[in-house]
Amino acid sequence: MRTITLPRHREQTVSTPTNIGRFAQRTAIHIAVFIICAIWIIPTLALLVSSFRPQNLVATTGWWTAFSPPFNFTLELYQQALGRAGMAESFVNSLFISIPATIIPIMIAAFAAYAFAWMDFPGRDWLFVAVVGLLVVPLQLTLIPVLRFYNVLNLTGTFPGIWIAHAAYGLPFAVYLLRNFFGALPRDLFESAYLDGASAFTAFFQLALPLSVPAIASLAIFQFMWVWNDLLVALIYLGGYPSVAPMTVTISNLVNSLGGGWQLLTAAAFISMLLPLIVFFSLQQYFVRGILAGSVKG
């Protein structure tokens, strides 16, 4: 009997519709990311370039003309912005406002988040829902009632007053973020600690806090940047007292009532951005890890 051997087909790499679809999807994602980055970076780049140009050129020509010869870059705007009265004092005031207004809500929120996550008490879930519900309350609704209350207690124009205000406004988000992170920690770890005789304070300080450094660091970045860049709350509670005004209030006063001197804002903006950038890049290793762990689990 005769055996017939059929020829083997050569193996060929064929682009299947699935591979083509994946390539098109990745390409579309890369294009979208590039467009989003360009939307964010181009205005910032324009502001940076304008801050190193002479004041007359900033007012009369576009920022892109700075890259065509003759190149004309100067520190004139930075010298004028730093030379304005009150700028150095405002920088110190911003530090004196931002640091306590970052530490206070994180400390309070850490205690509250641990209680919501690992301690049983009547009405725990309803109270947590009420705290999280404060996130949807517009900030503007509280300004006039709080300002009247501050006037009665003589807290207007004082550092303790602005610390309390920023701490209160930042507490709902801080409690929500840290509670979700604490709730994602292993239960067996705390049960073992309680069996060994550890109290709630011992478990909080020696277990929960050391394991929650990523979430606390990411929360510190959010709170510090929000307080440092805040203008509305500072204007309401500190606006009439230049001796305690932060940089945002002083920078807003660089422009006169007719809009003159707006070129100084380009340099002043980067002076104000310097410290938040240092804080962000110093803590960025914890940022993504803390946000993801605190928002996905709980």
pLDDT in tens, the chain (298 residues): 555 554 554 544 444 567 787 878 888 888 998 899 888 888 888 888 888 888 888 878 888 888 888 788 888 888 888 777 577 788 889 999 999 999 999 999 999 998 888 888 888 889 988 988 888 888 888 999 999 999 999 988 899 999 999 999 999 999 998 888 888 888 888 888 888 787 888 888 888 888 888 888 888 888 998 999 998 999 999 876 778 888 888 888 877 655 666 778 888 888 888 888 888 777 777 666 655 554 444 4
Q: Of 40, 74, 108, which residue constitutes the final position of a domain? A: 74
Whether residue 266 is contained in a domain is answered as yes
Q: How many domains does the chain have?
A: 2
Exposure pattern of 261-278 as b/e (b: 16+ CB <10 Å)? eebbbbbbbbbbbebbee
**Can you give the pLDDT at residue 297?**
46
Residues 108 and 256 in one domain: yes
Alpha helix stretches (DSSP H) within the chain: 17-51, 55-60, 76-83, 87-118, 124-133, 140-153, 159-183, 187-195, 200-203, 209-211, 213-228, 232-238, 247-252, 264-296
Residues 215 and 267 in one domain: yes
Residues 63 and 113 in one domain: no
Residues 180 and 89 in one domain: yes
Residues 168 and 92 in one domain: yes
Residues near 94 by beta carbon (within 8 Å), at least 6 away in sequence: 228, 246, 247, 248, 275
Whether residue 60 is contained in a domain is answered as yes
CA distances (Å), origin 162, targets 40, 64, 89, 221: 31, 41, 17, 19
Whether residue 128 is contained in a domain is answered as yes
Helix (H) or strand (E) holding 74: none
User: Residue written as tokens 């050569």?
Assistant: 10
Residues 159 and 216 in one domain: yes
**Can you give the pLDDT at residue 257?**
57
Whether residue 79 is contained in a domain is answered as no
Residues 65 and 150 in one domain: no
Tell me if 225 sits within 8 A of 280, measured CB to CB.
yes
Residues 99 and 67 in one domain: no
Residues 43 and 191 in one domain: no
Whether residue 24 is contained in a domain is answered as yes
Q: Of 74, 109, 139, which residue constitutes the final position of a domain? A: 74
Residues 61 and 171 in one domain: no
Residues 37 and 112 in one domain: no
Whether residue 10 is contained in a domain is answered as no
Q: Residue 143: give its domain's CATH number.
A: 1.10.3720.10
**Domain of residue 68, residue span:** 20-74
Tell which phi-psi region holds residue 156, choosing left (phi > 0), alpha (psi between -120 and 50) or beta: beta
Whether residue 172 is contained in a domain is answered as yes
**Nearest CA to 168 among 149, 152, 182, 184?**
149
**Can you give the pLDDT at residue 298?**
43
**Can you give the pLDDT at residue 3?**
53
Residues 44 and 125 in one domain: no
Whether residue 35 is contained in a domain is answered as yes
**Can you give the pLDDT at residue 289?**
62
